[in-house]
Chains A and B, each alone.
Chain A
Amino acid sequence: MDTVSWLGYTLLGVYHGINPGMGWLFAVALGMQEKRRSAVIGALFPMALGHAISIAVVVFIIALAQRQLPEDVLRIACAVILFGFGVYKFFSARHPRWVGMRVNFKDLTIWSFLMASAHGAGLMLAPLLLRTPAAEASGHMHHAHASMAGDAAMLLSAVGVHTLSFLLVTGIVAVIVYEVVGLALLRKAWFNMDLLWSIALMIAGVVILFWKH
């Protein structure tokens, strides 16, 4: 991976991290319900895990598809899915219907997985993945086994970097809101991240068609 890719995965992690629907808001609420900061911090790790699993599933499916499908076909398919999902999210305010505040590690992991998946968080990484052809990314065109291992390592580090920046940002926002800013933020500064998100998906759908290494 080159610097652009690293930066891309990191910045998308930042973007996912500041979205209240992805985690920090729930972490803040759990802290307030329990009246302790450790509840805020404790919620962040299962959230990061669920987010990482959701991202990894999409990333590995795309990587597999990269091996099976001609590049242009995959590029167009991803563009259609991304753009279509963005359009759907733009017009539909549907949201996951989870109910429950008394959550343990497993619940929070599943919740985060559902939220990330329903928002198409992993899909948003597709332009970065397709930007570098699979073979070229690993650099071992002629050695299938080495190439697969190299691919897997590359994909895992992409998921890892993304998740790390997600965890860091969502954690910082959660603690700042819990300790300093308070809930007034929700009324004043909260704007429709989901709407912005749907536009981001549409942009990603267009970018994926043209953005090659």
Chain B
Amino acid sequence: MLQQWKPDPTFYPSPKMAIEAPIEDVAYVAAPRDDDKPDAMCVVDLNSASDTYGQIVNKLELGVRDEIHHFGWNACSAALCPYAPHPYIERRYLVVPALRGSSIYILDVKEDPKAPKLIKTLDANEVESRSGYTRPHTVHCGPEGIYVSALASAGSEEGPGGIFLMDHYNFNILGQWEVERGSQSLSYDFWWHLGYDVAVTSEWGYPAMIENGVSLEDLGERKFGHKIHIWDIRHRKNIQTLDLGDDYQMILELRPAHDPTKAHGFVNAVLNMNDLSSSIWTWYKDGNDWGIQKIIDIPAQAPENPDDLPPALKDIGMIPPLVTDHILSLDDRFLYVSCWGTGEMLQYDVSDPFNPKHTGTLEIGGITKSHPHPAAGPVSGGPQMVELSRDGKRLYFTNSLYVAWDNQFYPDGANGWMVKADVNVEDGGLELDPNFFVDFGESRAHQIRLQGGDSSSDTFCYP
């Protein structure tokens, strides 16, 4: 491969500089399905001057019943990290794991960003035999390669799940990342504080606990994850486990501060078993150790008509908020929290990570609620995967969590959609763009990635 003479223009040394990045023109959205048609990577036109603004302009079909879910770039601003700089690598490939099918697709978007090309498929066999893991989930571009987390071990389909490395030039799987995992067994998301040589991992459930819908039995027995793990990234060693307590089930998305000199981050606990509330927690460096503290409780709500509740919630009679995703702006100021059950997108000012201020709410969808969108009327599902432009002004989100879970909580249908909210970055507050509604029809719509980078794609090594 011939090298580039200049660093990739989408790499920024610091989050402050990334905030000044140009406005995104294109979004890539993972669109899994619940039938025998293939999942697709959809391209949404975000150029407001374009005739096809806010429409799906291309679909690249991938596998059937694969559940493409989260995905990431082959390279990002972490390539500028000073201890292993390689800024001439290009951000041009999307690494797309299938959470159910376990294969990994490599898409090239360089030639025409609106027409991704499938250039390589690592089938499930290859992924499992080379990594030792199955059900690949989160992808992050790191200083030494591509890191991918996975839910379980390849043979047992149970613990331990973990992380494996991929080469960022040829996409070969290099193998298991962990050297000493300690007590860690459940796996889900991971991210890091590169300035502190520390990685953080979270816990969901094993495939059998999630693939036919949430196993209410396992939930009753509190078998889902309730911890996060802190790792020494140089020695790939679990150095501390922070237990939120088994009242809290499913600890999912990790959002560390983007400023590498800060040592705190935010994680969501989906369910409090006592009252069905969701919560946001702050982990933080405390001397030589790490601590975690709950900062936001989001209570369950009573339905207007309990008869409308889906079977999974009939006995309980309440709507849990089901906070299943959140995103932190690049200036580490605003946290956006998706309440998939109650149909709300909440905005908090987390400048002080221990004293969040609630600064905005918008409503759309929701179990039994179906809050309408101005351009589409009542909608199914609720705010789920959320992504924020690098300047923090445009918030995009979709409505699907995981096909089997969509069906469980939204049994009347969960046709996919993507919407946009405009953010007041000075004073806080957000409102739906009444003209932006992307209809995915019978496809579901999950993670969004913005061309050139977004607020969960890059890691920065300079403040």
Output the least CB separation between A51 and chain B (Å).
Answer: 15
CB-nearest residue of chain A relative to B165?
A97
Q: Which of A97, A98, A191 contacts B6 (CB 8 A)?
A: A191
Output the least CB separation between A126 and chain B (Å).
Answer: 24
A101 x B5 contact (CB < 8 A): no
Interface residues on A, range: 20 to 34
User: Which residues of the partner chain A approach B405 to less than 8 Å between Cβ atoms?
Assistant: none
Residue-wise, chain A 174-206 has the 8 Å CB interface mask toward B (1 for contact) of 000000000110110011101100000000000
Output the least CB separation between A20 and chain B (Å).
Answer: 6
Output the least CB separation between A188 and chain B (Å).
Answer: 9
B260 x A33 contact (CB < 8 A): yes
Q: Which of A32, A91, A94, A194 contacts B2 (CB 8 A)?
A: A91
Q: Which of B3, B17, B234, B463 contacts A192 (CB 8 A)?
A: B3
Say yes or no for B9: interface residue by CB 8 A criterion.
yes
Give CA–CA (A29, B84) in the complex, Å. Answer: 12
CB-nearest residue of chain A relative to B260?
A33
B5 x A28 contact (CB < 8 A): no
Say yes or no for B87: interface residue by CB 8 A criterion.
yes
Output the least CB separation between B272 and chain A (Å).
Answer: 36
Question: A94, A97, A184, A192 — which one has the most chain B CB atoms within 10 A of its CB?
Answer: A97
B14 x A194 contact (CB < 8 A): no
Q: Which of B89, B145, B194, B261 contacts A35 (CB 8 A)?
A: B261
User: Which residues of the partner chain B approach A29 to less than 8 Å between Cβ atoms?
Assistant: 81-83, 461-462
CB contacts under 8 Å to B, within A3-55, are: 20-21, 25-26, 28-30, 32-33, 35
Q: Which of A20, A95, A97, A101 contacts B194 (CB 8 A)?
A: A101
User: Which residues of the partner chain A approach B2 to less than 8 Å between Cβ atoms?
Assistant: 91
Give CA–CA (A169, B421) in the complex, Å. Answer: 50
A186 x B234 contact (CB < 8 A): no
Residue-wise, chain A 94-116 has the 8 Å CB interface mask toward B (1 for contact) of 11111111110000000100000
Residue-wise, chain B 444-463 has the 8 Å CB interface mask toward A (1 for contact) of 00000000000000000111
A93 x B7 contact (CB < 8 A): no
Q: Given A93-B1, A183-B17, decide whether A101 and B197 contact each other with a Cβ distance below 8 A.
A: yes
User: Which residues of the partner chain B approach A94 to less than 8 Å between Cβ atoms?
Assistant: 169
A192 x B4 contact (CB < 8 A): yes
CB-nearest residue of chain A relative to B143?
A99
Where chain B touches its partner, the secondary structure class is loop
A96 x B84 contact (CB < 8 A): yes
B83 x A186 contact (CB < 8 A): no
CB-nearest residue of chain A relative to B88?
A192
Say yes or no for B283: interface residue by CB 8 A criterion.
no
Question: A21, A30, A90 — which one has the most chain B CB atoms within 10 A of its CB?
Answer: A21
User: Which residues of the partner chain A approach B194 to less than 8 Å between Cβ atoms?
Assistant: 101
Q: Given A93-B89, A102-B196, A195-B88, decide whether A33 and B261 contact each other with a Cβ distance below 8 A.
A: yes
Output the least CB separation between B267 and chain A (Å).
Answer: 22
User: Which residues of the partner chain B approach A90 to less than 8 Å between Cβ atoms?
Assistant: 3
Give CA–CA (A98, B461) in the complex, Å. Answer: 14
B14 x A95 contact (CB < 8 A): no
CB-nearest residue of chain B relative to A186?
B13
Residue-wise, chain B 13-33 has the 8 Å CB interface mask toward A (1 for contact) of 110010000000000000000
Q: Given A98-B83, A190-B6, decide whether A184 and B17 contact each other with a Cβ distance below 8 A.
A: yes
A32 x B261 contact (CB < 8 A): yes
Give CA–CA (A100, B82) in the complex, Å. Answer: 9
CB-nearest residue of chain B relative to A19?
B85
A99 x B7 contact (CB < 8 A): no
A101 x B196 contact (CB < 8 A): yes
A97 x B197 contact (CB < 8 A): no
Give CA–CA (A121, B139) in the complex, Å. Answer: 35
User: Which residues of the partner chain B approach A195 to less than 8 Å between Cβ atoms?
Assistant: 3, 5, 88
Say yes or no for B144: interface residue by CB 8 A criterion.
yes
Question: A33, A35, A101 — which one has the most chain B CB atoms within 10 A of its CB?
Answer: A101
Say yes or no for B393: interface residue by CB 8 A criterion.
no
Q: Given A187-B7, A192-B3, A194-B3, decide whether A99 and B261 contact each other with a Cβ distance below 8 A.
A: no
User: Which residues of the partner chain B approach A183 to less than 8 Å between Cβ atoms?
Assistant: 13-14, 17, 462
Give CA–CA (A30, B83) in the complex, Å. Answer: 10
A100 x B261 contact (CB < 8 A): no
CB-nearest residue of chain B relative to A34?
B261
Give CA–CA (A102, B239) in the complex, Å. Answer: 15
Output the least CB separation between A67 and chain B (Å).
Answer: 37
Say yes or no for B195: interface residue by CB 8 A criterion.
yes
Say yes or no for B190: interface residue by CB 8 A criterion.
no
User: Which residues of the partner chain A approach B81 to less than 8 Å between Cβ atoms?
Assistant: 29, 101
Give CA–CA (A96, B80) in the complex, Å. Answer: 13
Apart from the given pairs A26-B82, A195-B3, 7 other A-B contacts in the complex at a CB distance below 8 Å:
A99-B83, A99-B84, A99-B144, A101-B83, A102-B196, A187-B12, A194-B88
Binding site for A on B (CB under 8 A): 1-7, 9, 11-14, 17, 80-89, 142-145, 169, 194-197, 233-234, 260-261, 461-463
29 contacts between A and B (CB under 8 A): A25-B85, A26-B83, A33-B260, A35-B261, A93-B3, A93-B86, A93-B88, A95-B85, A96-B84, A98-B144, A99-B84, A99-B233, A100-B83, A100-B233, A101-B81, A101-B82, A101-B195, A102-B234, A103-B83, A183-B13, A186-B7, A186-B13, A186-B87, A187-B7, A190-B87, A191-B6, A192-B6, A194-B3, A195-B3
